Structure 1
C-alpha cells in the first residue's frame, strides 16, 4: 500500500464519482479504477459499493476513509514542518504525553513556552508510556510526560510529583454517598482500567495498588482511553481509579472521591534522552519543574 492509494481513495470517497475524482487527481479514470481495485485486493475487503448511485462506502470503506484522512493530514503536517525546518525558519521540539497529564499544570506550561518561543515548532503527540520510550529512542520526540517509569538504555526519568489517586464513581452509586472510599470497597465492583495495551501501563500500576493493600481486583474491564474509562463509569459499567487532577474532567453523571487508603498515588514523570542538553529542551524542563 502506498500513499497514492490513500489519496486516490479519499478523493473518490469525497466526490462519490470516479470521473470527478479522476479530474480532481488529474489522472484518467481507468488508472484510478485499477488503483482502487488494487487497494481493495490488498486489504481483502470491498471499500466501494459500485452499485449505488452515487457511489457509497461500505462499512469497511467508511472506517478506512476516516483513518486515511487522518493519516494524510498527519503526512501533510509533517511535510510542511520539515520544509520549514529545512529552510531554517523554525526549530523543532517533540513532546509526548499521556492524556491524564493534560488535567494538571502541563498544558499551561506548554502554552506559555510556545508563546515565549514562537521560533520553535512544538509538536504534541499522545503516546502511552511504552510508546514514549520507543519514540524517544527513535528521535521522534524529545521529551515525554507519563505515569509509568520504564527503564531503558539512554533515557532518564525525572519525578515531577507524586499525585494522589481518587475513585471515579457513577453519581447514583451507593459509594458516592460517602466522603471517602477504600480500595477494598472498590474491589467489590468491576474496576474499569486504562490503557489496555501496550503494557506495562497505568492499568498495571492501579492493579498493583489493589494487591499491595490486600484486596486484589476480581472483576476488571479494560479500555484504551481515560475519557472512555470515565464514560464507562458514567454508564454504570463499573468504578475506576484515576489521578486526582482528572477531577477537572467534570461530568454530571460521575463523581470523584478521595481514597481512605494511605499512600495510593501515581507518579508524574518527565523522560528525556540522557545527555540531551539542548537549550530549547532545558528551558521546557525548567518551566515544568517550576510549575509544580
Structure 2
C-alpha cells in the first residue's frame, strides 16, 4: 500500500464518483478504478458500494476513510517538517563554548538567532577548544565558540568578535608606558597564565608565533 492509494481512495470517497475523482486527480478513470480494487483486495474488505449513479463508502470504508485522512495528514506534516529542518527552520543545534567567552558577544548572537529561527532549539554545552574541534569533526557539534589564534584547515570558521590583548605589569616595569609591546619582548619575562590544563592554551598558541612557549 502506498500513500497515493490512500490519496486516491480519499478523493473518490469525497467526490462519490470515479469520474469526478479522476478529473480532480488528473488520472484516467480505468486505472483509478483498478487501483481502488487492488486496495480493497489488499485490506480484504469492500470500501465502496457501487451503483450506476455513483459510489458511497461502506461501514468499513467510513472507518478506513477516517484513518486514511489521519495517515495522509501525518505524512504531509512529516514532509513539511523535514523540509523546514533542511532549511534550518526546525529542529535543534548543538552549540559549545569555553570559559569566559560566553560573557562576550555570544548571548547577543544567540538572541538574534532565536529571533530568526524561533522553532530551532539551541543546546549549550561547555567544551574546551580541543574538544570542540574533535566534536565538530565527529559531527555531533554544530557550532563552537572559543578563542582561536590559528584556524583549522578542515573547519569552517568566522571571526565574530575581536578582543584587545593587553599586558599587565608592575608600575616600575621597563615596559610600563609603552603603547604597544611585541610578543618577542616577553621572551625572557616571567609570565602568569592559567593552570597547565587544558593545553595547548590560547596563550601557548599566541606565544608560539614568536617561537617561545610558556614555562
What's the TM-score once normalised by structure 2's chain length? 0.44
**Structure that is richer in strand per residue:** 1
Higher relative contact order (CA 8 A, sep 6+): 1
What's the TM-score once normalised by structure 1's chain length? 0.34
- Is the radius of gyration larger for structure 1 or structure 2? 2
